[in-house]
Structure 1
Amino acid sequence: MTLPIAWAAAREAVFAAGTAAAPGPVAVPLAEADGLTLAAPLATLTDLPAFPTSSVDGWAARGPAPWRIIGRVLAGDTAEPLAEDGTCVEIATGGMVPEGTTAVVRVEESTVTGGAVTGEPRKLPDWRRQGEEATAGEQLLPAGTTVTPGVIGLAASCGYDSLVCRPSPRAALLVFGDELLTAGTPGAGRVRDALGPALPAWLRRAGCDVVQVRGPVADTLEDHVAALRGAIDSGARLICTTGGTMHGPVDHLHPALAELGARYIVNTVAVRPGFPMLVAQLPGGQLVAGLPGNPQSTFVALVSLVLPLLAGLTGRSLPQLPTVTLGADVPGRGDFTHLALVTLADGRAHPVAHVGSSMLRGLANSVGFAVIPPGTEGRAGTVAQLVPLLDGELS
């Protein structure tokens, strides 16, 4: 019998495996980079701003007032220097501040009489100095940063047309089980497949490119092996399966992995619910995440193993778990880590109802799992780690 690995050690092990299996970086156009991970630090290609820029509509002036108007600078123009005291140019917001400027006077705080401008500049300059935000070559973001719309905008302002990123992991989902219905209401010994529709959406939100969904896969060794081979042929780097992780009469995942020559990275985890979870690697480098068939246990395995695995595959750091204050007592599970579904109310984490391994009602009403370490119990008012249902999400 395989001894289960400690929950925290399992997270570390799959993260290391994902890091070792991460694909090489690729250059991705800015418009296609959202959600990917920077494979190299983002350093600005120019000073930000690249030239002094007016923050207001008004007058760029040299020396004391009054100032004689000698021109105009609009956004996008190249400004000629102000060579003489007592001169100014009209300037638009975003316009290049001419060399020699000593003040920018706002249009609403100035007076124009006979071609001459008077006014009082404010104490704080109304223009942005060259390099005020960053100087050329300065690192703005480290490798491993998730690309967001804000990152894309920053990169564009620095002069980038593309970003060097880790590509999205290609994922496949195989749903095992003769008892599953894919439409209609459950009955007569058959249950509705809740994971086939839910898990692809979850994998996409976690940053995967889902290239195949197959199920229900019949409960035979032959069909399991054929489904795994089909997922390999689809180009998936990550293959998630549901069900068949135990050693019962219709549990064929372990024999199928043996037939394909897989090696285990994690094989059962000391966590409740969901302990019969696994991650294995096939000879071609593909990673198989074997998730239990009970729906809540499936999601325990997802947050426990798949999120850390994906962090490694995408070149990110192992997700650091936030903490919450418990609003009620949470029981322990002996020698196992207990992942207890909680919701947030009044700034505290409260256990939810309907949390059986086969139930999804509690999951749908929660923000994640409170971590109760082995040999302990969670007490109201104490602090516990929280595993969000998706990395970085608390709602």
Structure 2
Amino acid sequence: MTASRTADGPAPHGSQTEPGSLRAARTWERARSIARSCAGQPLPAVPRTLADALGHALAEPLVALTDLPPFATAAMDGWAVSGPGPWRLGGAGVLAGREPGPLGPDSAVPLATGAPLPAGATAVLRHEHGAADTERGLLHDRSPAPVPEGQDIRPRGQECRSGEPLLPAGTTVTERVLGLAAAAGYDRLTVHRRPSVELLVLGDELLAQGVPRGGRVRDALGPLLPPWLRACGAELISHERVADDLAALGEAVRRSPADVVVTTGSTASGPVDFLHDTLRALDARLLVDSVAVRPGHPMLLAELPATADGRARRLVGLPGNPLAAVAGMVTLAEPLLRHLGGHCAPEPVQLTAGSALPGHPRDTRLLPVFTAGQKVTPLPFDGPAMLRGLALADGLAVVPPGGVPAGDTVDVVELPRR
């Protein structure tokens, strides 16, 4: 049973119809494209302190606010020297964070790594290459070759000049980006707002703790999905269990203030699969209703009625089987969330099949694989309800219908890493 409104009428070119259903199955590539494009423009730009910008996407290019380094500095501990030597030893040493006076001709002054270079210095003599004659006040060079001009000096602007673009808009703010931004003079960054997400885990058969018993199984997706959603740039505002009840599910979806509602289970046509009925009752618009991919084909994407303040809302329905739900994450949830958050779409990784990668006769297959160098090897335990292979995987190989022979290239979707 489907919702009353769909994005399209007849099945699009390249789609397939699931046996026993009237729903047109999107191709895997088309489903991902719809997930990206339905988001429209990324969410608005907001200012954030460096501490609060982690995980967001830059809403504008990161441009250097200063030269880096901002002044010539010493790259090693030793002496700043002027001329070829030997040199007259000068006064107190120069430490990082101190502004030195000028250095006269044929003179030397001790200095530490990172310290500003005195005006007039032509090179840095490393500590292990210098011999100080304190009685005569001279410094001699004991290095294998004469010190060349500019040795062990980081010149001003060596890394970048003020006004130089450093990173493009859409770059994800990682710990490394925060370090660069701070070095370049930033206290705040302009980033896109994170899409808010509410996760609704459906299924009366799920246990929150302990071993499976009494015909019930552990909830694997409750622990698995929240960190994965955050890795996609989402702000998880709620994580709830919802009973297999039409009224309860309808109320949970209707009242959700999230930009994106993510559900698990209830996407097929079983006796307690109420998601399609819920979407119909809410007058939601189905954009994707089944995808020609294994595992995970009964996944869906819908536009929900807007919030009271006019914000658009979407719903991603993931299948209930764990590996099938992961397929739904990489097919629909990740492209949608990354686009809403303003993140650049990652380029596909093309690797070589180290052995044959088995495929489905008609559909794309997402296969857990282990990566070694530039080659991928399929992992066992890859059924829709299994997680053992995924736990060992570096990525999911996108295997076209019929499979990939050993030695051929294959696209690989990389999995989040911590």
Q: Same fold (TM over 0.5)?
A: yes
Distance 1:246 1:16 in 2: 25
2:389 is matched with which residue: 362, 367, 374?
Answer: 362
Distance 1:153 1:372 in 2: 38
Q: Could you say which residue in structure 2 is the equivalent of 1:242? A: 264
Contact 2:84 2:147 survives alignment (8 Å): no
Distance 1:289 1:40 in 2: 29
1:112 aligns with 2:141: no
Contact 2:43 2:342 survives alignment (8 Å): no
Amino acid at match of 1:29: T
Q: Could you say which residue in structure 2 is the equivalent of 1:255? A: 277
1:102 aligns with 2:96: no
Amino acid at match of 1:9: R
Distance 1:99 1:239 in 2: 61
Find the residue that maps to 1:257 and give its secondary structure: helix
Q: Could you say which residue in structure 1 is the equivalent of 2:313? A: 286
Which segment is superposed worse, 288-297 or 217-226? Answer: 217-226
CA shift at 1:122, angstroms? 2.0
Amino acid at match of 1:54: A
Contact 1:65 1:117 survives alignment (8 Å): no
Amino acid at match of 1:337: T
1:10 is matched with which residue: 31, 37, 40?
Answer: 31
Q: Are the structure 2 counterparts of residues 304 and 129 from structure 1 closer, same or farther at C-alpha, using a change threshold of 3 Å? A: same
Distance 1:279 1:21 in 2: 18
Q: Are the structure 2 counterparts of residues 7 and 89 from structure 1 closer, same or farther at C-alpha, using a change threshold of 3 Å? A: same
CA shift at 1:52, angstroms? 0.9
Q: Could you say which residue in structure 2 is the equivalent of 1:138? A: 164
Contact 1:212 1:231 survives alignment (8 Å): no
**Structure 2 unaligned residues grouped into runs of 5+:** 1-21, 307-311
Distance 1:281 1:316 in 2: 21
Contact 2:87 2:140 survives alignment (8 Å): no
Distance 1:346 1:219 in 2: 45
1:210 aligns with 2:210: no
Contact 1:17 1:312 survives alignment (8 Å): no
CA shift at 1:346, angstroms? 7.8
CA shift at 1:358, angstroms? 2.1
Contact 1:342 1:351 survives alignment (8 Å): yes
Q: Could you say which residue in structure 1 is the equivalent of 2:249? A: 224
Cα displacement string for residues 11-34 of structure 1 (whole angstroms, at most 9, x for unaligned residues):
11111223x253212222222322
Q: Are the structure 2 counterparts of residues 191 and 154 from structure 1 closer, same or farther at C-alpha, using a change threshold of 3 Å? A: same
Contact 2:199 2:262 survives alignment (8 Å): yes
Find the residue that maps to 1:37 and give its secondary structure: coil
Amino acid at match of 2:412: L
Contact 1:15 1:318 survives alignment (8 Å): no
Distance 1:240 1:144 in 2: 24
4+ runs of 1 displaced by more than 6 Å?
none
Distance 1:136 1:78 in 2: 21
Q: Could you say which residue in structure 1 is the equivalent of 2:5? A: none
Distance 2:160 2:383 in 1: 53
Distance 1:258 1:347 in 2: 47
CA shift at 1:64, angstroms? 4.8
Contact 2:88 2:139 survives alignment (8 Å): no
Cα displacement string for residues 227-278 of structure 1 (whole angstroms, at most 9, x for unaligned residues):
113432xxx2221101111233322112212222322232211111211111
CA shift at 1:281, angstroms? 1.9
Find the residue that maps to 1:152 and give its secondary structure: helix
RMSD: 2.3
Q: Are the structure 2 counterparts of residues 277 and 117 from structure 1 closer, same or farther at C-alpha, using a change threshold of 3 Å? A: same
Q: Are the structure 2 counterparts of residues 292 and 97 from structure 1 closer, same or farther at C-alpha, using a change threshold of 3 Å? A: same
Distance 1:130 1:299 in 2: 49
Identity of matched residues, %:
44
Which segment is superposed worse, 133-142 or 342-351? Answer: 342-351
Give me the TM-score of the superposition, normalised by structure 1: 0.89
CA shift at 1:62, angstroms? 3.0
Which segment is superposed worse, 267-276 or 327-336? Answer: 327-336
Q: Are the structure 2 counterparts of residues 91 and 360 from structure 1 closer, same or farther at C-alpha, using a change threshold of 3 Å? A: closer
Find the residue that maps to 2:323 and give its secondary structure: helix
Distance 2:386 2:157 in 1: 56
1:61 is matched with which residue: 81, 84, 88?
Answer: 81
2:220 is matched with which residue: 183, 194, 206?
Answer: 194
Q: Report the number of matched residues.
A: 385
CA shift at 1:345, angstroms? 5.6
Q: Are the structure 2 counterparts of residues 119 and 103 from structure 1 closer, same or farther at C-alpha, using a change threshold of 3 Å? A: farther
Distance 1:177 1:378 in 2: 36
Q: Are the structure 2 counterparts of residues 103 and 283 from structure 1 closer, same or farther at C-alpha, using a change threshold of 3 Å? A: same
CA shift at 1:171, angstroms? 1.5
1:385 aligns with 2:411: yes
Give me the TM-score of the superposition, normalised by structure 2: 0.85
1:295 aligns with 2:295: no
Contact 2:89 2:139 survives alignment (8 Å): no
Contact 1:39 1:164 survives alignment (8 Å): yes
Which segment is superposed worse, 128-137 or 161-170? Answer: 161-170
**Structure 1 unaligned residues grouped into runs of 5+:** none
Contact 2:206 2:219 survives alignment (8 Å): yes
Q: Could you say which residue in structure 1 is the equivalent of 2:209? A: 183
1:163 is matched with which residue: 154, 178, 189?
Answer: 189
